[in-house]
Chain A
């Protein structure tokens, strides 16, 4: 009954549980979505309930990259560098429709979805998304973290 496989899966579960409830986020805020991000982070919606209340302003200390707002081609190499600087394990949340697809900025300046530059785990649509949507996205990210293979 207490075979090695059983034991390993429980360790993975425990690590997943720990990881999903201590998300240090790096908010890469470029545009109006930042207002909704701040609303989500503040006391009324209180993102700290989900263990994600601690924004780090160094990518080297962060677990999840929140890309909040329009990314243009001039900014794209900067975003890629920030992503590269983050330690594993790391996740990326595309916050708002601009980061998901470019939104209505279908023009010469704007990146048509940040998934052309870096891998994205969770897409939160909306222009801007309401805090409830953000929290829903965050919970989906936690689910994803819990159920993914834990490397350690």
Chain B
């Protein structure tokens, strides 16, 4: 079975206590891990010569507010190895009160802007990030627009109707 892929086997050997669940659907390996373990797991994926995940393809988040889960957010990492041609998806689950997870920007420089985007859109904090500030929205923007409880009609213009000091036209 694909469940026996090298990556998942290696992760289960090394991080048995931190892995909540793994699955492998049609060759797509996924491991759900505890948030505290993200840096050691990511570092193992990068530095283990058999795994050699040298490319962070994507880092994003999911707001599970309406999905009936115990956790509020999932932070999802996609890694790819250019030499081994294999990929893995790592998920962590975070609570809604003050979601935070350790930054992996020290391992992959590309994580810097991804983590800033997730902070900007979802308000997930990345501990140890070198420069965690909004990347897409303006500093005056309040709230996190991709959270499911962000009001869909809420507008925060900087100038014109509805901006600070000006009444809305509608």
Contact = CB atoms under 8 A, between A and B. Distances in A.
Interface stretch (B46-54, B103-111, B123-131, B156-164): B156-164
Interface in A101-126: 107-109, 111-112, 116-117
Contacts of A111: 157, 160
B contacts with A: majority SS: loop
A107 B158 CA distance: 15
Given A109-B137, A109-B145, A76 B158 contact: yes
B145 A108 contact: yes
Nearest to B154: A108
B169 interface: yes
Interface in B144-170: 145, 150, 154-161, 169
Interface residues of B, number: 14
A115 to B, nearest CB: 9
Contact of A76 (B136, B154, B157): B157
Contacts of A107: 145
Interface residues of A, number: 12
B158 A73 contact: yes
B15 interface: no
Interface of B: 136-138, 145, 150, 154-161, 169
9 contacts: A73-B156, A73-B157, A74-B138, A80-B159, A108-B150, A112-B155, A116-B161, A116-B169, A117-B160
Interface of A: 73-74, 76-77, 80, 107-109, 111-112, 116-117
